[in-house]
Amino acid sequence: MKSNSVLVKTLIVLGFLTGIVGLGMAFTPVKIMALFPSLVALFISLIAYFIAKAKQEKRVVVFIALLIAVAGTSVALVNEFIVKDTVVVDQKFEEKKEQSVQEVEDTDELDELQDELE
């Protein structure tokens, strides 16, 4: 097996970079936006794979780039369509908020009573 040509090496680097960006974005709140760099990485890595296969070059690094691209795409799709975000109501916070409102109303009543006495 020959070593990889410059074109294949360039595609591998681009595949790695976009794959890592897509995989990183898949774990952030911009879930569906992570699909774009992941799909670009998948496409670039597939092109690198077919070029390396046609020229009978080493394909181990290309497989790793493909793996990262597939992982990023999979995580982005799972996070978008399977994992549902939920908002939980914090009961303690709500109670403290109501208590604060009540205290403000009580101080307003005290101010009114104090004004009446003067």
Around Cβ 76, how many Cβ atoms within 10 Å? 25
Q: At what angle do helices 60-81 and 6-26 cross, to 10 degrees?
A: 20
37: pLDDT strictly greater than 60: yes
Measured CA to CA, the distance from residue 73 to residue 37 in angstroms comes to 9
Amino acid 109: pLDDT? 65
- Alpha helices (H) along the chain: 6-26, 35-54, 60-81, 91-117
Mean pLDDT of the chain: 83
Same domain? 69 vs 95: no
Same domain? 113 vs 101: yes
Same domain? 95 vs 70: no
Same domain? 112 vs 76: no
43: pLDDT strictly greater than 60: yes
What share of the chain has pLDDT > 90, as a percent? 11
Say which amino acid occupies 50. Answer: F
What share of the chain has pLDDT > 70, as a percent? 86
Same domain? 47 vs 31: yes
pLDDT digits (tens, 9 = 90+) for 64-107: 989 999 998 898 888 888 877 777 777 888 888 888 777 767 67
Same domain? 28 vs 78: yes
Helix (H/G/I), strand (E/B), else coil: 4: coil
Residue 81 C-alpha from the chain's centroid: 13
Query: What is the tally of structural domains in the chain?
Result: 2
Range of the domain at 105: 87-118
Measured CA to CA, the distance from residue 78 to residue 82 in angstroms comes to 5
